[in-house]
């Protein structure tokens, strides 16, 4: 049975200190720049059965050190003061709200992180701050989660590209060019090779009553660039940044971000593996999601709304023309800090694609990062279809959905009805899926081809398509959105609906309709 991506991990509870009770620094250290060549383990469609998994927003529940499941981080809130508010006034404002202790501004932010006592109700603190006349918005730090016919030998397994007439679109516009930079804001990307030393300080449980996994202590984790994305040092990777570890090494220890990146820009027509939508673009890897290994290794940051917002602003500052957000959350309230960052990026010429969510059969709660997309030209929320081009069983429906793309539906079509791409070998990565006696540090230098499903897989089709349009000179994000909607293949009710938006993307019809091809 083929894995379908990121697990619903439930409660993650730290229950002890490191080995021997010794405190270790919260850090990681690059100890080797290059590693052995990456291992390619081929198409993994005969793996032992695993629990069915669907990628995308709203899957993981955060648990703090007490074991309490929370949709946000304790001890701080996000606050945007109105323009012209002096820093002295900010300090006075925070001191006048019960329990608020201090305000701090991070890089790539136009907002403050305000500290409150760990035991305080952060939603109430945010409400009190919102009531102040000098506050534009305040919110908890909600957590987000991971959402020409090529000659590549496994291309025949990629039903998703023929389904949107991509082969004839490539005849018109073969893969964009390196002039276009697509920022992938996710769990990281396998873009570089080396070895990192981590400190695993806590034992933990995957479920509240599950077995206890021991702290690993100091471990060395090898990692490699994905062979299908480009060799280490490739000029196609630009301005990498990790907001989870606060450095420039956004290594993927989850597999989600690498799979998503493959759909956008996998090397194509190279006689190896699979294909990607816009296979000549440059990729900006920006890590804004905390994978389970990052949490086990006690990373200093989580994938909160403020981290996502900083990643968006960083991408726009560093030349991205398209931002892919196959991430999000269905829990909690609005995300004004993210919406403001998206508006800022669009104002600087960046198109933004956001996953709609995977909650259709589980409450149908929309991805809050997509709130208001229909009123923001240049931002599109993406739903998913399966191999039969009908709505995928998990694809969240809402008034924000504007477009649909292939995301897979393995419930309807079996394992091969997912989206195939190369990513990290889950057998060597997800050792926490093993019995405790077999648990050990991960390897991030081995790769395989997996079928994943989710609106996370649909969204990079739209991002890759946007990159192709930008290469044709349609550089205004609002114009990109208008073109995608105008020539989409209508699905469901006539016109826009909450399931498919304006329909299924149709790259060839769009290029022809714009007069780019006869």
- DSSP, residue by residue, 133-191: TTEEEEEEEEB-B-------TTGGG-THHHHTTHHHHHHHS-S--TT-EEEEEES----
**For residue 181, what are its two tokens?**
């930079």
Nearest-angstrom CA–CA distance, 500 and 491: 6
User: Which value, in Å, is the radius of gyration of the alpha carbons in the chain?
Assistant: 22
Eight-state DSSP code of residue 286:
E
Residue 40 bridge partners (DSSP): 447
Nearest-angstrom CA–CA distance, 38 and 42: 12
| Tens of pLDDT, residues 379-415 | 999 999 999 999 999 999 999 999 999 999 999 998 8
> How far, in whole angstroms, is CA 405 from its chain's centroid?
17
Please say whether the beta carbons of 413 and 387 come within 8 A.
yes
Nearest-angstrom CA–CA distance, 212 and 215: 10
Nearest-angstrom CA–CA distance, 261 and 268: 13
Average pLDDT over all residues of the chain = 85
Please say whether the beta carbons of 145 and 328 come within 8 A.
yes
Instruction: Identify the weakest region by mean pLDDT among 9-23, 61-75, 93-107, 164-178.
Output: 9-23
Instruction: Give me the pLDDT at residue 16, please.
Output: 39
- What's the distance, Cα to Cα, between the start and end of the chain in Å? 44
b/e sequence 177-199, b meaning 16+ C-beta within 10 Å: eeebbbbbbbbbbbbbbbbbebb
Instruction: Give me the pLDDT at residue 64, please.
Output: 38
Q: What percent of the chain has pLDDT over 90?
A: 63
**For residue 87, what are its two tokens?**
């820093």
| Tens of pLDDT, residues 334-369 | 999 999 999 999 999 999 999 999 999 999 999 999
| Tens of pLDDT, residues 49-89 | 343 344 433 223 333 333 445 789 988 999 999 987 766 56
**For residue 123, what are its two tokens?**
């939603």
Residues 178, 179, 183, 188, CA torsion sign: positive
The Cα angle at residue 91 between residues 90 and 94, in degrees rounded to 5: 85
The Cα angle at residue 73 between residues 119 and 358, in degrees rounded to 5: 140
CATH numbers and ranges of domains, the chain: 13-66+145-513 (3.40.50.200), 73-142 (3.30.70.80)
Q: Residue 453's pLDDT band (boundaries 50, 70, 90)?
A: very high
**For residue 148, what are its two tokens?**
């020409």
Q: Distances from the Cα of 441 to the Cαs of 20, 229, 254, 308, in angstroms?
A: 18, 24, 13, 27
For residues 249, 213, 56, 268, the Cα torsion angle rounded to the nearest 10 degrees is: 50
Instruction: Write down the H helix ranges in 353-446.
Output: 410-413, 426-429
In the predicted structure, residue 8 carries a pLDDT above the cut 70: no
Instruction: Write out the H or E segment, with its range, that includes residue 28.
Output: strand 28-32
Torsion region of 372: left, alpha or beta (phi above 0 gives left; psi -120 to 50 gives alpha): left
Among the listed residues 281, 203, 275, the one whose alpha carbon sits nearest the alpha carbon of residue 422? 275
Nearest-angstrom CA–CA distance, 163 and 176: 20
**For residue 228, what are its two tokens?**
């299908």
Residue 341, helix vs strand vs coil: helix
Nearest-angstrom CA–CA distance, 487 and 479: 12
**For residue 427, what are its two tokens?**
């057998």
Q: Residue 208's pLDDT band (boundaries 50, 70, 90)?
A: confident
Please say whether the beta carbons of 269 and 150 come within 8 A.
yes
* Average confidence (pLDDT) over 472-491: 97
According to DSSP, the β-strands at 135-142 and 181-186 are unpaired
Instruction: Give me the pLDDT at residue 5, please.
Output: 28
Strand order in the sheet with 217-223: 28-32, 194-200, 217-223
Among the listed residues 450, 449, 326, 451, the one whose alpha carbon sits nearest the alpha carbon of residue 386? 451
């Amino acid at each position: 049975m083929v894995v379908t991506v990121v697990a619903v991990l439930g409660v993650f509870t730290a229950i002890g200190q490191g080995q021997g009770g010794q405190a270790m620094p919260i850090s990681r250290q690059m100890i080797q720049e290059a590693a052995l060549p990456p291992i390619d383990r081929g198409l993994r469609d005969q793996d032992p059965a695993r629990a069915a998994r669907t990628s995308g927003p709203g899957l993981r529940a955060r648990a703090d050190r007490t074991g309490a499941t929370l949709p946000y981080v304790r001890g701080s809130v996000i606050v945007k003061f109105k323009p012209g508010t002096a820093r002295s006034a900010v300090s006075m404002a925070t001191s006048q709200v019960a329990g608020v202790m201090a305000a701090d501004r991070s890089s790539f932010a136009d907002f403050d992180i305000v500290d409150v006592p760990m035991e305080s109700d952060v939603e109430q603190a945010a409400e009190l701050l919102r009531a102040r006349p000098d506050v534009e918005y305040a919110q908890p730090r909600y957590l987000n989660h991971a959402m020409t016919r090529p000659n590549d030998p496994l291309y025949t397994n990629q039903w998703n590209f023929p389904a949107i007439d991509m082969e004839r679109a490539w005849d018109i516009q073969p893969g964009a060019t390196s002039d276009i930079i697509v920022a992938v804001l996710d769990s990281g990307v396998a873009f570089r090779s080396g070895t990192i030393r981590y400190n695993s300080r806590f034992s933990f449980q995957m479920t509240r009553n599950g077995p206890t996994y021991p702290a690993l202590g100091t471990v060395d984790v090898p990692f490699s660039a994905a062979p299908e994305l480009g060799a280490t040092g490739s000029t196609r990777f630009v301005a990498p940044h990790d907001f989870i570890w606060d450095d420039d090494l956004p290594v993927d220890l989850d597999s989600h971000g690498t799979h998503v990146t493959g759909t956008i820009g996998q090397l194509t027509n190279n006689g190896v593996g699979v294909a990607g939508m816009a296979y000549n673009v440059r990729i900006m890897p920006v890590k804004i999601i905390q994978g389970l290994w990052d949490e086990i290794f006690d990373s200093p940051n989580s994938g909160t709304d403020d981290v996502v917002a900083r990643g968006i602003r960083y991408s726009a500052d560093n030349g991205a023309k398209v931002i892919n957000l196959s991430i999000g959350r269905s829990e909690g309230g609005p995300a004004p800090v993210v919406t403001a960052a998206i508006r800022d990026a669009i104002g600087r010429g960046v198109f933004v694609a956001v996953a709609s969510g995977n909650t259709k059969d589980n409450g149908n709660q929309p991805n809050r990062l997509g709130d208001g997309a229909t009123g923001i030209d240049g931002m599109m929320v993406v739903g998913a279809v399966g191999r039969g081009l009908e709505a995928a069983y998990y694809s969240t429906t809402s008034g924000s959905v504007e477009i649909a793309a292939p995301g897979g539906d393995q419930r309807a079509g079996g394992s091969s009805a997912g989206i195939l791409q190369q990513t990290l070998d889950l057998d060597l990565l997800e050792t926490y899926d093993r019995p405790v006696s077999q648990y050990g540090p991960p390897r991030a230098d081995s790769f395989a081809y997996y079928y994943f499903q989710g609106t996370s897989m649909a969204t990079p089709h739209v991002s890759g398509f946007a990159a192709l349009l930008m290469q044709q000179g349609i550089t205004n994000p609002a114009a990109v959105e208008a073109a995608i909607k105008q020539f989409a293949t209508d699905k469901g009710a006539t016109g826009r609906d909450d399931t498919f938006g304006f329909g299924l993307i149709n790259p060839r019809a769009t290029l022809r309709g714009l007069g780019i091809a006869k």
